[in-house]
Amino acid sequence: MKISEILERKRTISFEFFPPKKVENEETLFRTVKVLKKYKPDFVSITYGAGGSTKDKTVEWTLRMKNQYGLNPMMHLTCIASSKESIKKIAETLNGEGVENILALRGDLPEGFSRDKLEFKYAYQLVEFLKSHWGFSIGVAGYPEGHPESSSLEKDIEYLKMKIDAGGDFIITQLFFDNGKFFDFLDRIEKANIKAPVIAGIMPILSLKQVKRFVDMCGATIPESLVKSLEGKSKEDSYKIGVDYAIKQCSELLTSGVKGLHFYTLNKYNATEDIIKALSLG
Ligand code: FAD
């Protein structure tokens, strides 16, 4: 089912997974999917390795979500290191298998890759390409705190608008921990006359080390009070602090009328399940 159509009727709940690199890790994902399926997600998404490094596995797991688990999948697809021909091949496969949703991304240029002959430079070009050939419902990435490469928040919104004008149907945000940044982002979106619904990306914190690694990668900030509360804590205490924080964060977002919550599960179910249960979602 098209995510854009679901969003017209209701607030969405969704889970993000990554394709396991090793066969021995597949069992973890199987278990996670089995547990989280109980909460009736509106869709699940499968990430695409940098530069398409997990291309085949991403397609395989996207199809598994649909055919083996009966879930509504969205495949992440990056374009920066891809040719139109290779994107076409993937899109034809997904279309032929009845997958209706794609998260259209630029991705990051792999090391040693020349910028000279890129067929896609930005995500909006992938959105345009997909929209002009197939009928997918297309999501695009949004950055409440700005994309790390962008010169200003205003420019970032300008480029986000290009993705929506090119045919993007909805926006899924980068993880964030400060709802204030998300609400400011929504204000900027409204001012730019972007009408697409915005789904909030939520990452339950499992440890200070883990969250710092992700934040370094994507440029999100962690509120000082949260950092302080996690410092020197045991694994168990960090888990509890992280889950309690996410419950409060999601609860405030739900009260504000957020269009959807997208959980970055990292292929683990415990924290996401605890949050979903506490909020009586699903
Ligand atoms: P774009 O929208 O193209 O933007 C990239 C940069 O270029 C930004 O700084 C933007 O401001 C600028 N820009 C955009 N258009 C123009 C223009 N016309 N002229 C000049 N500058 C412009 N990465 C993966 O590899 N695999 C994944 O599965 C994956 N999933 C993700 C899921 C979500 C929800 C999010 C938020 C990110 C995900 N990413 C993933 C990361 C993403 O690929 C990177 O953040 C990447 O650097 C940017 O991708 P984009 O689609 O936002 O690019």
Q: Where are the domains of the chain?
A: 3-278
Q: Which tens digits make up the pLDDT trace of 99-145?
A: 999 999 999 988 877 778 899 999 999 999 999 999 999 999 999 99
| pLDDT at res. 111 | 81
Question: Distance, CA 23 to ligand 1 centroid (Å)?
Answer: 29
Which ligand 1 atom is nearest residue 142's CA?
Answer: 36
pLDDT of residue 213: 86
Q: State which residues of the chain have pLDDT below 70.
A: 52
Residue closest via CA to ligand 1's atom 20 equals: 159
pLDDT for position 116: 80
23 by Cβ neighbours in 10 Å (0-12 / 13-18 / 19+) ranks as: exposed
Spatial contact of 63 and 92, defined as CB atoms under 8 Å apart: no
Atom 15, ligand 1: which residue's CA is nearest?
159
**Residue 30's closest CA among 268, 204, 261?**
268
pLDDT of residue 109: 85
240-243: list long-range contacts, CB under 8 Å, 24+ apart. 241/205, 242/204, 242/205, 242/206, 242/207, 242/211, 242/271, 243/204, 243/271, 243/274, 243/275, 243/278
For the chain, how far is it from start to end, CA to CA, in angstroms?
17
Distances in Å between the Cα of 19 and the Cα atoms of 44, 81, 200, 211 are: 12, 19, 22, 20
pLDDT for 167 equals 98
The H or E element that residue 27 is part of is helix 26-37
Quick check: 179 and 252 in contact, CB under 8 A? yes
Give the Å distance between the CA of 159 and the centre of ligand 1: 10
Amino acid at site 207: S
Percent above pLDDT 90 for the chain: 84
**What pLDDT score does 69 carry?**
97
pLDDT of residue 218: 83
pLDDT at 260: 98
Contact 273, 246 (CB under 8 A): no
Which of 122, 126, 154 has most ligand 1 atoms within 8 Å of its beta carbon, as the pocket-test mutant?
122
Instruction: Give residue 211's pLDDT.
Output: 80
Say what the pLDDT of residue 54 is: 82
pLDDT value at residue 259: 98
Give per-residue pLDDT as tens, 197-220: 999 999 998 888 888 887 888 888
> What was the pLDDT predicted at 214?
79
245-251, Cβ contacts within 8 angstroms, sequence gap of 24 or more: 245/177, 245/205, 246/202, 246/203, 246/204, 246/205, 246/271, 246/275, 247/274, 247/275, 247/278, 247/279, 249/177, 249/179, 249/202, 250/202, 250/275, 250/279, 251/279
- Name the 3-class secondary structure at 14: strand
Q: For the chain, what is the largest distance between any 2 Cα atoms, rounded to a whole number of angstroms? A: 53
Please choose from 109, 159, 203 the residue to mutate so as to test ligand 1's pocket, defined by most ligand atoms within 8 A of CB. 159
Return d(Cα 32, Cα 14) in angstroms, integer: 13
pLDDT for the residue 212: 84
The yes/no answer on whether domain 3-278 falls in CATH 3.20.20.220 is: yes
